[in-house]
Chains A and B, each alone.
Chain A
Amino acid sequence: MTSSQVLRPDLAVIAQNVAPGARVLDVGCGDGTLMAALRDGRDCDARGLELEPANVAACVARGLSAIQGDADTDLSFYPDDSFDYAILSQTLQTTKRPDLVMEQLLRIGRRAFVSFPNFAHWRVRLSLLWGGRMPVTRLLPVAWYETPNIHHLTVADFRDFVAQRGIAVEGAWFLEGDALTGAAAANWRAEHAVFLLKRHGD
């Protein structure tokens, strides 16, 4: 199986950095693309949580385990430390309370992968600065009135957030297009960020 070839770049980063054989919860797992890659490529026990029943059915048809539910309300049902990794890819900005979802992620999982589009990317800044319009870009492709994204954030916001809460950053990857870019100018240059987090003290 060569599923990593077709993975979205942020998912490919996650798939390459999950320890083989790990227990994984993919929050907002969609049709199970990442879970299938983790199962087939890394021998992981992957579970999914997903809002859309048709996506859950797609996971079931792939022989994956997914539960229909809402990240904002249903993570509280999972016991502490039930997974090696909890993954939230491109979902944080769609939750009602990202801070509470983050808390739950690091309670359920010993580590958490979080990926999100960076609202401080230069193209987004230009769009606002010159056009005075909410940006519609490759990673933020939907107009303001129908976007599922309700809590836009930037790389700098996220760094502040984890620092304030004593969350340790074990790894960070920044994507410009499909290529990795450096951490230094990430808040300006990265379209997309992936963070690997760990509870402080663990």
Chain B
Amino acid sequence: MSDTSAILPIENPLNAVGATYDLEQPLELDGGQVLHGVRIAYETYGTLNEARDNAILICHATTGDQHVATPHPITGKPGWWSRMVGPGLPIDTDRFYVICPNVLGSCMGTTGPSSLAPDGQPYGPRFPVITIRDMVRAHVLLLKALGVENLYAVIGGSMGGMQALSLSVNWPDMAKRVLVLASTAAMPVQNIAFQELGRQAIMADPHWQGGAYHGTGNSPDAGLAVARMAAHITYLSEASLSEKFGRRLQNREAKSFGFGADFQVESYLRYQGESFTGRFDANSYLYITKAMSYFDLAEGHGEDDLPGRLAEAFKGVNSRFCLVSFDTDWLYPTSESRSIAHALNAAGAPVSFMELSAPFGHDSFLLDVPALDRVIEGFLLR
């Protein structure tokens, strides 16, 4: 493709907050369909050096976004990893050029089911089912447009970790370092089950209208809120819930013997569900969770009808890996990261792995865990 770096605002990092890039070519998807006119919303921080070897791609989680270190435009809350990304922070923007794109299928500026199709109408249910690799494919095209041929590192937690792994296997010469936090090489079946629960809640909402709710004035907010509540529980731990809420009652002295939010945890979950509908699109939730459910890095690397062998998938990777799990994460437990580490070792790839202790469950990678800061800083050091 032509040198587009001149027209993209990489010189001034401030300009790259709220930036978008329109793919010049159609995006061919794993499902066989082709998307035309794909737009990718992204943010960059720091400056790409002359050697173009200091770029770090950060991949966000399921319902995350490109606002990694700048306030969220809808909620006004700080960026989701503002404690990690910035000048002098573990991912040091004085040294690195950080790129965080919004994933394909999402609703924060990148083309997704709520975007307008070429016919001027929202895609809605006409949006093709996508995969994790499709998301990465779009990222890679954005990187090339930004003048980034090689990455100093790719970093991702949870679904972002799946993208980082997919990049390392499918574009093996792209990233020198791959950092995967609280993630997996294949969606555990229990998580597929939880995600199906969320999708069914959305599709059972009469306002979903077969997915064609865009522009009708109604959206499946109740279903999306239930989906979010179920997912949110899986991000926490018994310890964190007990400490935060216990069995305490909310704004009352005694139980109501009704179906109001008696317990603080009930009130908290309702708030989480409702506030989520203000910032996220229900169809995006369906497409993105389905992409995660399909994720299986080893697929296609087995013999005949046998399941794929992960070590086979990692043959030919050219990156140094670091995997981190958290001892209270029951969504992507330590065993998931450890099996990736062993497969990488069997494939001869340089890999480090550690389980960190933190009380916050799966969400630990987003929260204040100083040991994680040290690991990330150390891994990027040399």
Query: What residue in chain B is nearest A68 (Cβ atoms)?
Result: B354
Q: Are B338 and A69 in contact (CB under 8 A)?
A: yes
Q: How far is the CA of A45 from the CA of B345 in the complex (A)?
A: 12
- B322 part of interface (Cβ distance < 8 Å): yes
Query: What residue in chain A is nearest B353 (Cβ atoms)?
Result: A67
Chain A residues in 8 Å Cβ range of B338: 67, 69
- B77 part of interface (Cβ distance < 8 Å): no
Q: How many residues of B contact A (CB 8 A)?
A: 23
Which residues of A pack against B, CB within 8 Å?
Answer: 45, 47, 53-54, 56-69, 77-79, 82
Q: How far is the CB of B89 from chain A (nearest CB, A)?
A: 16
Chain B residues in 8 Å Cβ range of A57: 354, 371, 374-375, 378
Chain A residues in 8 Å Cβ range of B354: 53, 56-57, 60, 66-68
Q: How far is the CB of B375 from chain A (nearest CB, A)?
A: 5
Q: How far is the CA of A82 from the CA of B347 in the complex (A)?
A: 10
Main secondary structure of the interface of A (DSSP, over half): mixed
Q: Are B379 and A60 in contact (CB under 8 A)?
A: yes
- B126 part of interface (Cβ distance < 8 Å): no
Q: Are B355 and A61 in contact (CB under 8 A)?
A: no
Q: How far is the CA of A82 from the CA of B377 in the complex (A)?
A: 30
Q: How far is the CA of A79 from the CA of B345 in the complex (A)?
A: 9
Chain A residues in 8 Å Cβ range of B381: 61, 63
Q: How far is the CB of B344 from chain A (nearest CB, A)?
A: 9
Query: What residue in chain B is nearest A78 (Cβ atoms)?
Result: B345
| Contact mask for chain B residues 365-382; partner A; CB cutoff 8 A; 1 contact, 0 none | 000000100110111011
Q: How far is the CA of A45 from the CA of B353 in the complex (A)?
A: 17
Chain A residues in 8 Å Cβ range of B346: 77-79, 82
Q: How far is the CA of A67 from the CA of B371 in the complex (A)?
A: 16
A to B CB contacts below 8 Å, 25 in the list: A47-B350, A53-B355, A53-B356, A53-B357, A57-B371, A60-B322, A60-B354, A60-B379, A61-B374, A61-B377, A61-B378, A62-B378, A62-B382, A63-B381, A65-B350, A66-B352, A66-B354, A67-B352, A68-B354, A77-B342, A78-B342, A78-B345, A78-B346, A82-B345, A82-B346
- B148 part of interface (Cβ distance < 8 Å): no
Query: What residue in chain B is nearest A77 (Cβ atoms)?
Result: B342
Q: How far is the CA of A67 from the CA of B379 in the complex (A)?
A: 13
Chain B residues in 8 Å Cβ range of A61: 374, 377-379, 381
Q: How far is the CA of A68 from the CA of B355 in the complex (A)?
A: 7
Which residue in B341, B345, B352, B377 is a CB contact (below 8 Å) of A64? B352
- Given A53-B354, A53-B371, A57-B371, are A67 and B341 also a contact pair (CB < 8 Å)? yes
